């Protein structure tokens, strides 16, 4: 804190208000852009001779604002600053880091705001300082340019295929050779990917400082409805620990799926048309707490299977979960409903047809245990033949709890969602396909 802030901290609130009223318009405008007056301590750069400042915290913590303000302070204090701004894509770098609500331009005083030259992907400050935006999807674009500082945003979602995230980081570090004190600010939601774990390990040798926090740290600046929504949607899940609590949720040793594997198989939207859409149902044994796993998956024209939705319902009577299946089938225009019939047998089909008489139901019988059925499906993910279109918190928690030894170490009594996923993927990718033949007489 500055001496002024130290002094104000010892005074009652009315003293600050009196000082503010005594300022003219230009002075008040400048006052609004004094980040040190409104920032929480954990949003300010730490002391010490660090090279990397990693802010790893939950959604809504204020990571973007902290990174943008850090860049602004560097640029305004150093006319020779050459700063790299890196996100998972050029579009996100521009939309979030540069022009976002908490981005660099929004944080800057109009008199000293940088100009964004979109065609050059460059921010230019009045004093001569510059910042260039880069995409982590194109790691070779950082081979050659030199920088004095860098801000890397959401490294946890940088593309991991072909080691692009780590290659991007390596190329950046090798180009940080301008000026006498190179520094990198990294802002991210925690994800158990190799680059995040590598940055955390840098703390052990003293080259990195790590700031951690949760969504609740900034609750005073977030809409109450947002806080209520994330509580009702994600409370109790491991994803809540990660995305809200800011905790790095590590993998369980021996699990069929790892979180880094699932992250590498995540897509924002299906890139092609669906050849087939199926809904898999894992009926509950009772209505006293078990879930009815309902997962929607599709086979794309590119031969890859994708999870489209998790429509699982909890503590539902047969007519309620059957109705949920019928709604999902109509919404996604499913050509097949795959239902496990080990528990209930023909009753499962009867319940489903009572909800929708023309449901294209196919009953499947489990001759092997859940883990044995899941192993070939996990192999599809490893081979890049399966993907998730979006985030499915509770489903992914269960997937990461299925163990090679045959045990289940995830949340809940049974991996109902994961079992439904296995049935869906098996139908799309592992079931034998009959080939038409012409027989000559």
Highest mean pLDDT among 255-269, 337-351, 401-415: 255-269
Residues 311-320 have a mean pLDDT of: 91
CA 35 to chain centre: 28
Mean pLDDT of 345-355: 82
At 81 the pLDDT is 96
Pick the residue with more confidence: 189 or 251? 189
Confidence at residue 207, expressed as pLDDT on a 0 to 100 scale: 87
Query: Could you tell me how many residues make up the chain?
Result: 441
pTM for the full predicted model: 0.64
* Contacts made by residues 313-320, CB under 8 angstroms, sequence distance 24+: 314/289, 315/287, 315/288, 315/289, 315/290, 315/291, 316/284, 316/287, 316/292, 317/287, 318/283, 318/287, 318/347, 318/351, 319/351, 319/354, 319/355
- Looking at every residue in the chain, the average pLDDT score rounds to 87
Helices 164-175 and 194-201 meet at what angle, rounded to 10?
A: 40
Q: Encoding tokens for residue 58? A: 């939950």
Model pLDDT for residues 158-170, shown as the tens digit of each residue: 987 778 899 999 9
* Of 51-60, 71-80, 225-234, 355-364, minimum mean pLDDT range: 225-234
pLDDT at 40 over 80: yes
Question: Between 259 and 149, whose confidence is greater?
Answer: 149
Whether the Cβ atoms of residue 325 and residue 337 lie closer than 8 Å to each other: yes
Mean of pLDDT values over 388-403:
90
Under 8 Å between Cβ of 250 and 238: no
CB neighbours (10 Å) of residue 128?
Answer: 11
pLDDT, position 102: 93
Give the least confident one: 39-43, 66-70, 218-222: 218-222
| Helix axis angle, 318-332 to 346-355, nearest 10° | 60
Kindly list the structural domains of the chain, giving each domain's residue range(s) and its CATH number in brackets, ordered by start. Answer: 25-232 (3.40.50.300), 259-430 (3.30.420.240)
Q: The tokens of 56 are what?
A: 């790893």
DSSP string, 39-55: --GGGSPPSSS-SEEEE
Can you tell me whether residue 357 is helix, strand or coil? coil
Calculate Rg over the CA atoms of the chain. Answer: 26
Percent of the chain clearing pLDDT 90 (strictly above): 52
**Residue 29: pLDDT band by 50, 70, 90 thresholds?**
low
What pLDDT was estimated at residue 1? Answer: 44
Q: Which residue has the higher pLDDT, 107 or 349?
A: 107
**Is residue 365 pLDDT above 60, yes or no?**
yes
- The CA distances from residue 129 to 73, 132, 173, in Å, are 11, 11, 20
Q: Given a cut of 70, is residue 69 above it in pLDDT? A: yes
| pLDDT score of 408 | 83
Query: 123 vs 94, 118, 186, CA distance in Å?
Result: 10, 8, 19
Q: Regarding predicted confidence, which is higher, 438 or 395?
A: 395
Q: pLDDT band at residue 287, thresholds of 50, 70 and 90?
A: low
Is 174's pLDDT higher than 90? yes
Least confident of 24-33, 48-57, 90-99: 24-33
Higher pLDDT, 311 or 410: 311
Q: By mean pLDDT, which of 190-194, 253-257, 304-308 is the weakest?
A: 190-194
Mapped onto helix, strand or coil, the DSSP state of residue 77 is: helix
Three-class DSSP category at 426: helix
Confidence of residue 117 (pLDDT cuts 50, 70, 90): very high
């Amino acid at each position: 804190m500055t001496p002024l802030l130290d002094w104000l901290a010892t005074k009652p609130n009315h003293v600050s208000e009196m000082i503010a009223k005594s300022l003219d318009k230009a002075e008040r405008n400048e006052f609004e852009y004094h980040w040190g007056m409104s920032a929480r301590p954990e949003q300010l750069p730490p002391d010490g001779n660090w090279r990397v400042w990693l802010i790893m915290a939950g959604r809504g913590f204020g990571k973007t604002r902290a990174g943008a303000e850090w860049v602004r302070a560097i640029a305004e204090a150093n006319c020779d600053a050459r700063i790299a701004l890196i996100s998972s894509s050029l579009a996100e770098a521009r939309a979030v880091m540069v022009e976002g609500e908490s981005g660099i331009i929004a944080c800057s005083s109009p008199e000293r705001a940088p100009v964004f030259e979109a065609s050059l992907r460059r921010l230019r400050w009045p004093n001569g300082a510059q910042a260039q935006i880069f995409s982590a999807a194109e790691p070779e674009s950082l081979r050659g340019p030199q920088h004095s500082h860098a801000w890397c945003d959401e490294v946890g979602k940088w593309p991991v295929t072909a080691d692009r995230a780590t290659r991007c980081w390596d190329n950046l570090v090798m180009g940080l050779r301008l000026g006498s004190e190179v520094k990198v600010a990294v802002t991210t939601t925690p994800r158990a990917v190799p680059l995040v774990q590598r940055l955390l390990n840098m703390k052990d040798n003293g080259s990195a400082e790590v700031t951690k926090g949760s969504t609740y740290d900034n609750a005073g600046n977030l809409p109450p409805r947002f806080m209520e929504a994330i509580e009702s949607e994600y409370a109790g899940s491991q994803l809540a620990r990660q995305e809200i609590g800011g905790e790095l949720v590590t993998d369980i040793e021996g699990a069929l799926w790892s979180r880094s594997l699932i992250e590498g198989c995540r897509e924002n939207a299906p890139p092609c048309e669906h050849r087939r859409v199926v809904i898999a149902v894992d009926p509950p044994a009772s209505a006293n707490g078990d879930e009815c796993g309902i997962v929607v998956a599709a086979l794309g024209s590119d031969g890859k299977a994708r999870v489209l939705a998790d429509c699982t319902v909890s503590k539902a009577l047969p007519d309620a979960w059957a109705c949920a299946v019928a709604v999902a089938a109509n919404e996604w225009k499913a050509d097949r409903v795959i239902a496990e019939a080990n528990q209930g047998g023909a009753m499962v089909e009867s319940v489903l047809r009572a909800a929708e008489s023309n449901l294209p139901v196919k009953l499947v019988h489990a001759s092997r245990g859940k883990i044995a059925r899941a192993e070939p499906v996990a192999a599809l993910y490893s081979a890049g033949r399966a993907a998730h279109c979006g985030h499915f918190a509770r489903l992914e928690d269960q997937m990461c709890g299925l163990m090679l030894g045959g045990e289940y170490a995830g949340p809940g009594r049974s991996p109902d969602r994961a079992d439904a996923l296995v049935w869906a993927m098996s139908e799309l990718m592992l079931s034998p396909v009959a080939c038409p033949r012409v027989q000559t007489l």
